Amino acid sequence: MNNIDTIINEKIQKNPKIEIFNITFDSKKLWVKRARKTGSNMFHKLMYKLTKNPLLVPVQNKKPKESIEYEANKLARLHALNISVPKLIAKEENYFIIEDCGSTVAHLFYHNEVKNQMELCREIIRQLAALHNINEFHGGSQIKNFTYLDGNIYFIDFEESFDKSIDINELQFRDLFLFLFSIQKMNIDANHHSLIELYNKLTKKRDTIQRLHSLVKKVSFLMKLLENKYIWNLVDKDTKSVYKLMLGFKNISSK
């Protein structure tokens, strides 16, 4: 690994703040992810403690080296279980190296490089269901953390971990919500109800829509506030996307 270490260290010396970058080694494109800390701020932790909202589950605090160890080990474990993740090439103290698995789905959508957006979203749901069916979770399941290469979807970015006391079902529900939120935010042409039904069928979960309805009820007061045009003009894009997503959930039948 001496030659590849030299390439990586030279790139870091040129840009000390770089965290994720690609290199070419033996005519192959590889990706390098450096160690970085993870965690949630005190406000985030307080809001979860007060609301117990599964979408607000705080991320565990990990030091940079702990984060690298956690993510690299999870990638290796999931790859061994035939989950669609990049192959781990090497793990060092301050970074790990993985194979290239194409462009992110967010990039492809943004540049209009996907002919059938709905079908690609359905494939992501299939892969997410496969992950959940082995009692695992993603943690950061936005479309920026899925890649596409040669007809296959791959998961990336597994650095987020949570307290062991958190029910796996809460984390899986969070995964589904984050994915739906991310496609809502980019105005992707996808039928959320159809995606939820596919997820339910593949995972045999029967309470997803009820949980979404319950979530809508919990934030109904805030949704009412957003219907005021003055408040609507003040909030950011993320808030507007959440509102539109919740409105869609409200209109989905639980039958």
For the chain, list the domains and their CATH numbers: 2-205 (1.10.510.10)
For residue 120, give the nearest of 158, 146, 156 by alpha carbon: 146
Collapsing DSSP states into helix, strand and coil, what is residue 59? Answer: coil
pLDDT in tens, 122-160: 999 999 999 999 999 999 999 999 999 999 999 999 999
Cα 100 from Cα 32, distance rounded (Å):
10
Q: Which of 46-60, 142-156, 207-221, 228-242 has the lowest mean pLDDT?
A: 46-60
pLDDT at 144: 96
For residue 183, give the nearest of 104, 109, 101, 129 by alpha carbon: 109
Global pTM exceeds 0.75: yes
pLDDT at 159: 94
pLDDT in tens, 49-94: 777 777 888 899 999 999 999 999 999 999 999 999 999 999 999 9
Element housing 154 (H / E) = strand 152-155
Cα–Cα distances (Å) from 70 to 25, 54, 132, 161, in that order, read 25, 22, 18, 8
Cα 100 from Cα 130, distance rounded (Å):
21
For residue 121, give the nearest of 162, 73, 182 by alpha carbon: 182
